[in-house]
A and B are shown apart, each in its own frame.
Chain A
Amino acid sequence: MRRILKRRESTLLISLIVLVLLVSLRSPTFIGPKSLNSILNDTSALIIVALGQSLVILIGGIDLSVASVMAFSGMVTALLNQHFPGIPAWAFLPIAAALGACLGSLSGALVAFGRLPPLIATIATMSIYRGFVYVLSRGNWVLARDMSHSFLAIPSTKMLGLSSMVWVAILMAVAAGAFMRLSSSGREVYAFGGNKVAANFAGVSERKVEMLVLTASGLLAGLAGVLWVSRYGMAQSETASGFEMQTVAACVLGGMSFVGGSGSVIGVVIGAIFFGVINNALTVIHISPFFQMVIQGFIIIFAVVSNTLIDRRNQMKLVARRKI
């Protein structure tokens, strides 16, 4: 029990619950099922993309191209839907995921074979992919009236009380968690993030890990892209612009460190929900949405500093124990 309480994720979960309770003091409807449901809906895209982002951060990198991948997969699926209304709506999920995986593997190839640092590779692919969106759409928007009803219904179809968007997020989180904890590839990612040289000597293929995390990140971003576009009923070249930073922020709040090698799926999911709750709470307690960014900034700085201090204290304890 004490070990569970001591984990960073539990601290984060407790502060999340406290936050929700505090907001509901001001506005009791906030913890109603309807409001919680809409928070989950708003957050699922962030959860999905942040899961992929967390893999890249885990190896000490960062994927800045995720928002552009979302815009790309969103635009391609929206255009497909507009011009070929015959394609069944469910087919767009695998199409979007495959598109995202392709784009992600391109970034991955730059990192794994071109030996570019992930930051630089994805800065480049970020602008390239977003430019492609513009080229594909010739600068035009695809609006809800151009999309079929079944396409627009993709994220909102209800199953067991939750919308399919939330289900996708849950499925992806479970899959990511199982992959990270149970599969040997997942353990390789942790090992590689913790100590590249040691992992190399232990037989972990650098290229495999780098390809793997960036492709996975692209796949998840692609999936989120189609959900995003069908949820908001609009695909344009600026879709999800700036979203990459939110996904990084969710990872940081979830306890991930840019040094790599530490972090958990649960932490990232809670981190993402945290931001979703705050964004929804602001409107409920009548704070202008223009304050969203400044609050986000405060939270990131607070999370980063406290993560570092906690880490350092734990290390000191370990060192102290060793001396005895």
Chain B
Amino acid sequence: MSRERKTGEESLVDGSRLIAPSRSPGRRIAHFLLSWESLIFILFLLVVSVNSLLSPVFLDPSNLFDATLNFTEKAIIAMPMIFVIILGDIDISVASIIALSALFMGMAGAHGAPTIALAGIGLGVGLLAGLFNGFLISRFDIPAIAVTLGTMSLFRGIANAVLGDHAYTKFPADFGFLGQGYAIANLVPLELLVFVAIAAVAVVILNLTVFGRYSYAIGNNRVAAKFSGVPVARVRVAVFAATGLCSGLSAILLTSRIGSCNPNIAAGWELDVITMVVLGGVAITGGKGNVLGVIIAAFLLGFMKFGLAVVNVQGAIMNVITGALLIVAILLPKGIEAARHRPIRTR
């Protein structure tokens, strides 16, 4: 039992919960404070305070908002990835879908397509790639990691084969606005607003719709869900299609922000996205997790990297810290829970 992690919302599905919903207010507060979200929120506050000590301009609003630019594109993909991992699946092809979407956008841009067409192409390619994943996974019932391992090579391979060592750099003049533009008093990056919108949609779908309940049910026990009349195949295809679509969206923003597209675009992002989701408290074994934790994790990781960059820490060392954080963040609550369970169990 100590293998599993408990978070707030899914008690409906999770019948194996050992602690009964707390009765005394003290217990309830303790429970809240020890919840995954509070733990990483405390970590997040820690990062923010260390950052503001290191660099006095950190808390300046325009600086804070600009700091979000280095993770919103990944966080946008993390939202559907929550569903993928709750289903007990995984998608390691997301970064390659970005490369594929960016390739077709770059191609269209080189032929003089307008911004709206580029956006359509980006989303369309992403959606098709996601559908392809979903189709292979649910039609043949193959482990998602095997399929997306293949499409990871395939999609980026297509970009490699077409582009070689070239890059597309010709885009319409107004295309850059999507990834570089600001809204609301010229302060909030457009990308952040897109992320907020996607996150809101994810919260609603996961918590308030039948689809969200289906996702938890499938993640907890796929066979039982199937026999209970949950359209398992359709839910899985939809989730992988959504992941493809959001990767396409992310590709639009990224290409627009950096203004070019080469075959190595977004290399390694799949692991960053998965780290974000797992750090956000979504159990890799499926069936557990919520959106709020992942949003906090996205900000935590993003601001941490930003702060480390301010003090000139190299990317490689940042990766050490991220990796260590991932391990500590998973081991810590497990230890706490193990310590917490023992006395309660005997009662």
Contacts and interface: CB of A to CB of B under 8 A. Distances in A.
Contacts of B154: 294, 297-298, 300-301
A293 interface: yes
Contact of A131 (B149, B160, B316): B316
Contacts of B161: 288, 290-291, 293-294
Contacts of B320: 127-128, 131-132, 135
A134 interface: yes
Given A259-B143, A308-B140, 8 more contacts: A116-B330, A120-B330, A126-B323, A288-B164, A291-B157, A293-B157, A295-B157, A297-B151
Contact of A301 (B147, B156, B284): B147
A258 interface: yes
10 contacts: A115-B2, A123-B326, A131-B316, A257-B146, A290-B164, A292-B157, A294-B153, A301-B154, A304-B146, A308-B141
B145 interface: yes
Interface in A110-134: 110, 114-117, 119-121, 123-128, 130-134
Interface residues of A, number: 47
The size class of the interface chain B forms with chain A is: 35 or more
Given A115-B334, A120-B284, A124-B326, A249 B157 contact: no
Interface in B120-178: 136, 140-143, 145-147, 149-158, 160-161, 163-165
A131 B323 contact: yes
Given A293-B157, A304-B142, A237 B150 contact: no
Interface string B303-347: 000000000001011111011101100110010000000000000
A304 B199 CA distance: 33
Interface of A: 62, 64, 110, 114-117, 119-121, 123-128, 130-135, 139, 237, 245, 248-249, 252, 257-259, 288, 290-298, 300-301, 304-305, 308-309
Interface of B: 2-3, 90, 136, 140-143, 145-147, 149-158, 160-161, 163-165, 263, 271, 274-275, 278, 284-285, 314, 316-320, 322-324, 326-327, 330-331, 334
B136 A305 contact: yes
Contacts of A293: 153, 156-157, 160-161
Contact of A128 (B160, B271, B324): B324
A304 B2 CA distance: 34
